[in-house]
Amino acid sequence: MNVSRFLPTDPQPIEQPLPAIIGELNAARGRLGAWPIEALLALVDDFGRRLLRDQRTRSLEGAAFLSAWLGRTNLQKILDLNMQGNAKLLDGFQPWGRDFLAAKPQGLVAMWMAGNVPTLPLFSLVPALLAKNVCLVKLAYADPQGMDRLLAVLGEAEAGGLRGSDLLAAAAVVWFDYRRAELNDAMSLAADARVIWGGQAAVKAVSALPRREHCVDIVFGPKYSIALIDRQRLESGGKPLEDAVAGLVRDVAAFDQRGCSAPQTIFIERNARLSLADVGALFARQLERLPPKPGLDAYTTVRIMEIRARWALDESRDCLASADGANWTVCMDREPSLKEAVQSRTVFLTEVESWRDIIPLLSPKVQTVGIAFAEPHTATAFAEAATAAGVARCVRPGLMNAFESPWDGKLLVSQLVRWVTLKP
């Protein structure tokens, strides 16, 4: 039952028995639990500061955002939200009215990761470690996609007498073929909590694995995200509109639209100033400013070319595309629908009469809506309707891919602890 394990001290993964790794993690529970949360926050903050200084990680896709996200101020804000405003609940019993309350770790958290975003494992691993859980993380691919370099930098972090290498004793990052049923079963049966990231098939497969009765499941399944620019924003024009379009294009470009929070379909309200073609040209100009994509696989290129041809041949549709191959594409129509995600800087721009026309399209399947509204009260009215339909986030352009708490409607840290009470 060997797996490939990625260690911060070795350039190549090593083969280790999964039961031995699980035993090692369980043995580390007490040591991690004794560390004060203040010390853990300082250590993770030092790790974040090192990311952009270290040549191994500073050019990694998403490293700049990850570095900021790991900052002490941001993590303290996350803990305050998850821990009832008192992060010391993670250290032991705290007064709670006439009684006492504490947040104890779930225990061993097993994580099955998706492979669409290289830095994604850290957004599960760090919250779980701050909640003082030991972690078993299974990567989606044999290629760690930079996770090995992130572990190496974390291993060198230091703060207040604590070292990153000591923290990593509470975490194991592994890979094995997803078809190895006995390994998936063993990993699942060792877990006190399971965190599952991935598409429909992956979520279904992991959810069906045998597990202990008390095991908690936290699922981040397949999602779709959109954006919306309202009539008043389009008619007012100027810098606010330019900024909104530029922000949405940044959201499109991040991780090449592979993240579940990247906009695929962008709706615009019909207005008296700009036609659908005019708005398409605004997006085309911003997309043209992006650096060329470093590479594109043949399958995605073929899909993009097929979409371009289909839109161009349809009299009710139109298409703008980069002259240099499949670098970017803007498809335009007036059919209120959620278009199939092609990704790779492929935007579907759809004109509607009103934002109310898209509410029937929304469900918990839609994770994030990027909103460019001129008036706060209109934005609030839309958000009330959209979140009632199941949407988790309504955020301004440029923030769609900013991982935050809550995410997908979940407060991750609070779900990775057991809330316990004392009434002496």
User: pLDDT of 217-252, one tens digit each?
Assistant: 999 999 999 999 999 999 999 999 999 999 999 999
Per-residue pLDDT at 296 exceeds 80: no
Domains of the chain: 2-222 (3.40.605.10), 224-395 (3.40.309.10)
Cβ-based burial of 230 (10 A; exposed 0-12, middle 13-18, buried ≥19)? buried
- Of 4-13, 77-86, 171-180, 355-364, the least confident: 4-13
Per-residue CA distances from 182 to 17, 173, 366 (Å): 12, 18, 34
Tokens representing residue 373 in the block:
């509204």
Contact 28, 170 (CB under 8 A): yes
Q: How confident is the model at residue 294 (pLDDT cuts 50, 70, 90)?
A: confident
What is the predicted pLDDT for the residue at 121? 96
Q: How confident is the model at residue 154 (pLDDT cuts 50, 70, 90)?
A: very high
Alpha helices in 212-370 (DSSP H): 231-236, 238-253, 276-288, 298-313
Continuous segment of H or E residues that includes residue 321: strand 318-321
Rounded to whole angstroms, the Cα distance separating 381 from 143 reads 45
- pLDDT > 70 in the chain, percent: 100
Looking up tokens 């006439």, which residue turns up? Answer: 98
Per-residue pLDDT at 58 exceeds 80: yes
What is the predicted pLDDT for the residue at 214? 97
Looking up tokens 């000591």, which residue turns up? Answer: 166
Contact 309, 296 (CB under 8 A): no
Per-residue CA distances from 31 to 25, 326, 366 (Å): 10, 52, 41
Q: Does residue 301 sit in helix, strand or coil?
A: helix
Give residue-wise pLDDT tens across range 249-281.
999 999 999 999 999 999 999 999 999 999 999
Average pLDDT score, the chain: 96
Per-residue pLDDT at 295 exceeds 90: no
- Which sign, positive or negative, has the C-alpha torsion 395, 400, 406, 407? positive
Rounded to whole angstroms, the Cα distance separating 326 from 329 reads 7
Contact 266, 227 (CB under 8 A): yes
| Global pTM value | 0.93
